[in-house]
């Protein structure tokens, strides 16, 4: 399989469930991929290079996450392609309701960082319109929303 952005599909743990990025026009799991959509919107001049050459979208998102100023979060240096079904945690709300923010079939950009002085982690996820920072225990247990905001 070949990706629109140049990501190495052979190392993906979801490869068997993927319908192919190029084959589906940037919708490998049925929903859109934030990276492929960006490459395709630019007329494919960067197609096949986004993950080997500087990707504007990744750099913008890294800067936006770092600008949040979360005191005990490590500096963000990179983001990875993540399928929604892998990162779409269920968050408890006051009053007992729960909410999920992402579409299981989309591909987002994100990362996991250690929370300084804690055994918990920060989970970062973004698409074209939103940033989410959450914190959770091992294996995504006990997730809490730290920041969910619309991108400027």
The predicted model scores a pTM of 0.85
130-136 and 121-126: which strand pairing?
antiparallel
Please indicate, yes or no, if residue 75 is contained in any of the structural domains. yes
Q: With 90 as the cut, is the pLDDT of residue 99 above it?
A: yes
The pLDDT tens digits for 28-73 are 888 888 888 877 776 655 455 545 555 788 889 999 999 999 999 9
Please indicate, yes or no, if residue 13 is contained in any of the structural domains. no
Please indicate, yes or no, if residue 18 is contained in any of the structural domains. no
Please indicate, yes or no, if residue 43 is contained in any of the structural domains. no
- Three-class secondary structure of residue 70 per DSSP: coil
CB within 8 A of 150, min separation 6: which ones? 129, 130
Please indicate, yes or no, if residue 28 is contained in any of the structural domains. no
Q: With 90 as the cut, is the pLDDT of residue 137 above it?
A: yes
121-126 and 107-114: which strand pairing?
antiparallel
Please indicate, yes or no, if residue 66 is contained in any of the structural domains. yes
The range of the structural domain enclosing residue 86 comes to 56-150
- Structural domains in the chain (count): 1
Q: What is the pLDDT of residue 1?
A: 63
Please indicate, yes or no, if residue 89 is contained in any of the structural domains. yes
Please indicate, yes or no, if residue 6 is contained in any of the structural domains. no
């Amino acid at each position: 399989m070949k990706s629109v952005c140049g990501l190495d599909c052979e190392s993906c743990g979801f490869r068997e469930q993927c319908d192919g990025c190029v084959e589906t026009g940037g919708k490998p799991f049925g929903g859109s991929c934030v990276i492929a959509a960006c490459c395709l919107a630019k007329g494919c001049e960067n197609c096949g290079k986004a993950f080997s050459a500087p990707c504007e979208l990744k750099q913008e998102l890294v800067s936006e996450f770092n600008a949040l100023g979360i005191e005990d979060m490590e500096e963000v240096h990179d983001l990875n392609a993540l399928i929604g079904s892998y990162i779409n945690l269920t968050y408890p709300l006051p009053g007992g309701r729960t909410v999920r923010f992402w579409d299981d079939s989309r591909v987002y950009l994100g990362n996991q960082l250690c929370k300084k002085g804690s055994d918990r982690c920060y989970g970062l996820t973004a698409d074209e319109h939103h940033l989410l920072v959450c914190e959770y225990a091992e294996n995504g247990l006990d997730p809490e929303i730290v920041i969910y905001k619309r991108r400027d």
